[in-house]
Amino acid sequence: MLCATAMMSTANAGTLVLESWRVDDKALWETVLIPAFSKRHPGIDIRFTPTTPTEYDSTLLTRFSSGTAGDLVACRPFDVSQTLYNKGFLDKLDGKPGMEHFEATALLAWQTDDAKATFCMPVASVIHGFLYNKKIFKKLNLQAPKTQAEFLTILDAVKKSGNYVPLALGTAEKWEATQTLFTSIGPNYWHGETGRKALIAGKAKFTDAQYVAAFDYAAKLGSYLPSTASTQTYSDSQHQFASGKAAVYPVGSWDISYFNQVQGLDFGVFAPPVRATGDKCYILDHMDIGIGINKKSRNKEDAYKFLEWLGSQEFADLYTNRVTGFFSLSNHLIAVRDPIGKQMMEWRTTCESSIRVNAQILNRGQPSMEQELWNVNADLLNGTITGKEAATKIQNSFASVYRLKR
C-alpha cells in the first residue's frame, strides 16, 4: 500500500513524499514542520511516510529499484546512503540552495570518499553520555564523576548499597552494548578522530594498546549490570532507570524525550569520564540523519524548495527543540531549551567530537563491523570473553579491509 501511495504521490504536481525511518516523528512532521513549510510555500503538499526502522533500508532500496520511492528520503549516515548514491538513486546536492549553511565536517557522513559529491543534506546528530538518578546520588552522597576511577567508585558504592542496579543496561539486543556504551567510552582511549582515522588508514589495529584498553574498561563496567543483563532488552533498561531502580543509564540523546515524560524522575547527565584528571575529553557526536532527493523525482523543482527550507534557521530551531536530543548540524545559532539537551550540546565547546568508530569505510566488510561489534561487546559485558580477545576477534574479522587501505 505504501509503495502504491508513493508512486501515486510522486506523479501529482505540487505533492512531495518524504520517506523516513523515524516513525516517532510522524506527528511532529504533520502538525509542526510541514505546516511551517506550508506557510512559506502554500502550493506544495508534503506527505510524510515513515517505515519501521528495521525495515527501512531494505524497503527503500526496493522502492528505488522499482521506481516507487518518494521524492525526498531520510538518509542514514555514511555507507548505506553512499550505496544509494552510487547506484544513481540520489541527486548530487553540492552548490544547491541551503547547503551553504553546513560546514565541511557536517557533510562528511553524506559525501563520497573523495568528498567530491554530497548526496544528502545534514539534518541532525545525536550525542552520547550517561544519565544519573539525582535522588539516588543524593541519598548515597555521590557526585557526577569526571574520571573513570571516580565512575567505578560510584558504581561500587551503588552496588554495595544493595538497593539499586548500578548500570541499567542489557545485552539481549546487543546493539546497546556497542552504540550506547563502547563507542561512547572509546574515544577517550583512542583520542577520537585521530584513532578512528588511524584504523581506516591502516596505521593502527584494534589489537593496539589503546583499543584493547577501551575493551578492558567496558568489561569492568559489565560487572555493574543487572543480574538479568543477558535477557534484558532496551525497553527493559529504559523502564529500569525510569522506575528509579537503577542509578546510571548509558544514554544516546534520543532517549531524553522518553525520560522527560516520566513523572517524578529527577535526572542529570554527565559526559563519558576521562581516563585521568586533566586529560582532554572526547564525546561521541554522531551524525544521525540527513535528507536527500530522489534523482527520478517527478517534482524536483518543489523538492529543492523544500531542501532549501531544511537548511534554514527556522527548520534548525524547530527540529532541535521539538525532536529533543537531536542536534542541528547547521551553522545556525540555536538556543536549546531542554536542560539536559542543552548540557549535552555544550560538551561540544569543551570536548572534541568524534563519530562511531566503525561508521565510515570500516563497516563495508561482510559481516559488517557493526554486527561484529554488537556480538563482541555483548559477550564482553556478559563476561564470556576478555578485552584482548574482543580486540583480536574484531581485528581478525577485518584484517582484509585494513590491508586494502595500506
Return the pLDDT at 5. Answer: 39
Q: What is the 3-state secondary structure (H, E, C) of 313-373?
A: HHHHHHHHHHCCCCEECCCCCCCCCCHHHHHHHHHHHHCEEECCCCCCCHHHCCCCHHHHH
Q: Look at residue 293 and give its three-state secondary structure.
A: strand
CA distance 254 to 258: 8
Q: Please check whether residue 81 is in contact with residue 57, taking contact to mean a CB–CB distance below 8 angstroms.
A: no
Q: Please check whether residue 249 is in contact with residue 237, taking contact to mean a CB–CB distance below 8 angstroms.
A: yes
The kind and range of the H/E element at 284 are strand 282-293
- Geometric angle at alpha carbon 164, from 159 and 170, rounded to 5°: 90
CA distances from 340 to 128, 148, 315 (A): 12, 21, 21
Cα-based torsion angle of the residue sequence 393, 363, 355, 273 in order, rounded to the nearest 10 degrees:
-10
CA distance 263 to 244: 11
Q: Are strands 165-167 and 246-252 parallel, antiparallel or unpaired?
A: parallel
Sheet strands (E) in 253-281: 267-270
The kind and range of the H/E element at 235 are helix 234-242
CA distance 301 to 174: 43
Contacts of 116 (CB under 8 A, 6+ apart): none
Give pTM, 2 decimals.
0.87
CA distances from 386 to 8, 190, 211, 383 (A): 54, 19, 13, 7
Return the pLDDT at 404. Answer: 44
Alpha helices in 24-121 (DSSP H): 26-28, 34-40, 53-66, 79-86, 104-107
Backbone angles phi, psi at 140, to 5 degrees: -95, 5
Return the pLDDT at 54. Answer: 79
CA distance 249 to 266: 13
How many C-alpha atoms does 103 have within 13 Å on its Cβ side? 8
Return the pLDDT at 361. Answer: 86
Return the pLDDT at 401. Answer: 56
Mean pLDDT per block of 10 residues along the chain (406 residues) reads: 38 78 92 96 95 91 96 94 96 97 92 95 96 98 98 98 97 94 97 95 94 98 97 96 98 95 97 97 95 96 97 96 92 94 95 92 82 95 98 86 48
Calculate helix-pair angle for 387-397, 209-222, nearest 10 degrees: 130
Nearest CA to 180 among 261, 238, 123? Answer: 238
Beta bridge partners of 15: 45
